[in-house]
Chain A
Amino acid sequence: MVAAFLLASCNQSSEKKGGAEGGGNKLVIGATMLSMQNEFIVNVSDAMEAKAKEMGVELITVDAERSALKQVEQVESFIGQGVDAIIMNPCEVEASSPAIKLAMDAKIPIINVNSETSSKPTAFVGSDDTESARIAMKYIVEKLGGKGNVLMMHGFMGQAAQIRRDNGAKEILKANPGIKLLAEQTGEWDRAKGMSLTENWIQSYGDKINAIFAQNDEMGMGAVKALEAAGLKGKVLVVSVDAIPDALQAVKKGTLDATVFQNAKEQGGKAIETAVKAARKEAFEKEVLIPFQLVTKGNVERF
């Protein structure tokens, strides 16, 4: 909102004093993150921080607060500071793309972490969101025995993650005509919204609901709360994506049936490794895909 602009200039939440002048030949990496209010992103960021420390490079992390414009400006200022490599966790597919070109023109390697942009960066580290939804939906199909009614809860409409997770889920649904999509609606990635939406769905569809697929754990947790209140939890399967600690807890308790683990630690670590290699002009992989893993009660202890 407006307030975000007011504070735009003073939210450089760098952990250490930034700048290329710092300490001899120590590498400096600039990182701009989608939003530090998102738990998963914070986890990725923490992993990057840890890895940077381990490898002895300096990391400057800034928060783009979901604004692609701000993100591009942040990359500009990284270039201005003369960092050795840039890691970008893009806000948007298209709108964050200019940042890639800026960095390329300045001959500074730029690595996308977690999600993509339409312009090709030096390297990409992350997971394929489409795959996560495929995994989740396959699990639902399997559990329902190929027959039943499903509801889908979307994230913010139009965001890359929502589009991909939608595509992945629809792909599986298409292949399994026995599964019917009763309704789909956005829960805006939000737990309270997911809960309200589920309450309203229960009013509409009641006993007809066999499973709910929520595109993230927050909404999935909301769905679980609503189903529990209506005494339907035992009858309806709930699967979501991200494997946040709350969701893992719920899987352990058996209230959430499954979630899909996206490895934040691995993404963060690999992003730093790749950035360091690129900066030192060593060989590196252009695309590092971290696989998703399905988390169920059976294997939850490992996460």
Chain B
Amino acid sequence: MTRFSKLGQYGIFLAFALICLVLALSTPKFFTVSNLLIIGNQVSINALLAFGVTFVIITGGIDLSLGSMVAVTGVAAASFAHPDTYPLVVPLLVGLGAGSAMGAFNGLVITKSKVPPFIVTLGTMTIGRGLALILSKGRPVSNLSDSFNFIGGGSVAGIPFPIIILLIAFAVCSIVLNKTILGRYMYAVGGNEPAARASGIRVSRVKMWVYTICGLLSALGGILLTSRITTGQPNAGAGFELDAIAAAIIGGTSTSGGTGTMTGTFIGALLIGVISNSLDLLNVTSYYQQVVMGVIIIGAVVLDGVGKKD
């Protein structure tokens, strides 16, 4: 595993460590176990979506429908999660199934129609938003069972459950990307699609997988969110896609496809979470938070570009 692109990743890692150091020095409340767990908790949803979109971006695509998929899957799962109705697996399967189906739909349209992913997922973003409102009749779906609420609110041995889900998802996504043939094919398709096809790779199949996985991870994020706020909100997740894409880009995934790592994306998501957490701790208004975030996104890409020059 000697990837040259890892070099750029170290830069992000260093930047992240540096920012953490500065924050730890500026407020004693930052570097405490409880605060770190809170950051992990807050980061989990965005990180899950970012993992999904990293797969997509590596193949040279994009998915703007993440946020809407969060809403649809959240509402769908919540509808089956009222106390004393169905066992826990039912809302989970409904949510994950809905997400995978929406992702597969994205993949199907993109591979069959040759319409750019940007446009297709822009469409499904709006469709998804509408579906969430239709399913919920425009009202939040609340009164959820305790077992369902445990997913986003419970903890095991002092560690919040979302963090456990996040770490498992990270491990699985890393393995898929680095150790499986599918992962190798993702890099190939994004790096040079015609050459991948000429190498015997079924490009459409790879893309179908990628968008489906992205939908599945969005569903996981949707279920986590719903469970965390104990309601399925039809307007939840608006703008989540941009945060997820930002995390991937900060982590060194190139929007032109062919490069990117899960570790990078994970750090990107952590960076975003750490910054918004610490600016709250320091009582900085959210206006500045947005400016800071924008500067970091651009800075990350600029750094990445500089690092890649010969």
* Smallest Cβ-Cβ distance to A187: which chain B residue: B286
- Residues of chain B lying within 8 A (CB to CB) of residue A36: 133, 138
Question: Is A283 positioned at the interface, with any CB of B under 8 Å from its CB?
Answer: no
Question: Is A52 positioned at the interface, with any CB of B under 8 Å from its CB?
Answer: no
Contact B153 A229 (CB under 8 A): yes
* Smallest Cβ-Cβ distance to B281: which chain A residue: A204
- Residues of chain B lying within 8 A (CB to CB) of residue A276: none
**What is the CB-to-nearest-CB distance from B54 to chain A, in angstroms, rounded to a whole number?**
22
- Interface window among B1-9, B192-200, B227-235, B291-299: B227-235
A259-289 toward B: CB 8 Å interface, digit per residue (1/0)? 0000000000000000000000000000000
Chain B interface bracket (under 10, 10 to 19, 20 to 34, 35 or more):
35 or more
Question: Is B256 positioned at the interface, with any CB of A under 8 Å from its CB?
Answer: no
Cα(A204)–Cα(B230), bound, Å:
25
Contact A192 B225 (CB under 8 A): yes
Contact A37 B231 (CB under 8 A): no
Cα(A1)–Cα(B241), bound, Å:
12
Contact B281 A225 (CB under 8 A): no
B124-136 toward A: CB 8 Å interface, digit per residue (1/0)? 0110010001000
Chain A contacts with B in 190-247, Cβ cutoff 8 A: 191-192, 195-197, 199-201, 203-204, 221-222, 225, 229, 244-246
Contact B125 A3 (CB under 8 A): yes
Contact B42 A186 (CB under 8 A): no
Contact A200 B281 (CB under 8 A): yes
Question: Is A175 positioned at the interface, with any CB of B under 8 Å from its CB?
Answer: no
Cα(A38)–Cα(B235), bound, Å:
8
Contact B32 A203 (CB under 8 A): yes
Contact A185 B228 (CB under 8 A): no
Contact A3 B126 (CB under 8 A): yes
Contact B29 A203 (CB under 8 A): yes
Contact A6 B126 (CB under 8 A): yes
Contact A192 B138 (CB under 8 A): no
Contact A192 B228 (CB under 8 A): yes
B213-233 toward A: CB 8 Å interface, digit per residue (1/0)? 000000000000100111101
- Main SS at interface, chain A: helix
**What is the CB-to-nearest-CB distance from B51 to chain A, in angstroms, rounded to a whole number?**
19
Cα(A207)–Cα(B32), bound, Å:
16
Most interface-central of A6, A199, A244 (chain B CB within 10 A): A199
Most interface-central of B125, B133, B228, B236 (chain A CB within 10 A): B228
**What is the CB-to-nearest-CB distance from A57 to chain B, in angstroms, rounded to a whole number?**
23
Contact A191 B139 (CB under 8 A): no
Cα(A211)–Cα(B286), bound, Å:
21
Contact B34 A196 (CB under 8 A): no
Question: Is B111 positioned at the interface, with any CB of A under 8 Å from its CB?
Answer: no
Cα(A23)–Cα(B61), bound, Å:
52
Most interface-central of A6, A157, A191 (chain B CB within 10 A): A191
Query: When A37-B133, A197-B280 are in contact, do A225 and B228 touch as well, CB less than 8 Å?
Result: yes
Cα(A75)–Cα(B286), bound, Å:
34
- Residues of chain A lying within 8 A (CB to CB) of residue B133: 36-37
- Residues of chain B lying within 8 A (CB to CB) of residue A167: none
Other than the given A42-B138, A196-B276, 12 more pairs (CB < 8 A) read A37-B133, A42-B139, A185-B283, A192-B236, A195-B228, A201-B280, A203-B29, A203-B281, A204-B280, A225-B228, A225-B230, A245-B142
